Homo-oligomer: A and B are copies of this chain.
Amino acid sequence: MKITINTSKKQELIDITDKVNDIVKKSKVKNGICNIFITHATAAIIINENYDLNVCVDFLKALNKAIPDNAGYLHDRVDGNAGAHIKAAVLGPSESIPVENGKLKLGTWQSIMVVELDGPRSNRKVEVRVIKEN
């Protein structure tokens, strides 16, 4: 199953936990794992708190400090988005989460978020697979 999202900023975190849980429910898998994979090279999937939305602001600030944009990258001469590629590669396109009693087994403060690093973009695709534990 697939989730499609549109982003509205250059960099942005978008919560997809409810959409993933809907797919887990539809799969009828009671126990197993759920793989979430974004099929783009300038976006990523992370899991963290967003009850205080400032965690997302702080996350992007620290990420941009550790891996700055426009640091003389060679790919910037082609596309201007080398920083987005590098950040996406470090964060990774995917997470795998346990499923228990037909629901994602996340901690209280864990949400699944798409990290947009080169937006705004239409039709960012996230693939979701649910695998049964035997």
Contacts and interface: CB of A to CB of B under 8 A. Distances in A.
Task: Specify how many copies of this chain sit in the oligomer.
Answer: 3
Q: How large is the interface on A (under 10, 10 to 19, 20 to 34, 35 or more residues)?
A: 35 or more
Interface string A47-85: 111001011011101110111100101111011001101
B98 A95 contact: no
A122 interface: no
A109 B75 CA distance: 14
Given A47-B89, A62-B71, 19 more contacts: A31-B129, A32-B131, A33-B96, A35-B98, A40-B109, A47-B92, A48-B88, A49-B85, A55-B82, A58-B74, A58-B85, A62-B83, A92-B92, A96-B96, A98-B127, A98-B129, A130-B133, A131-B133, A132-B134
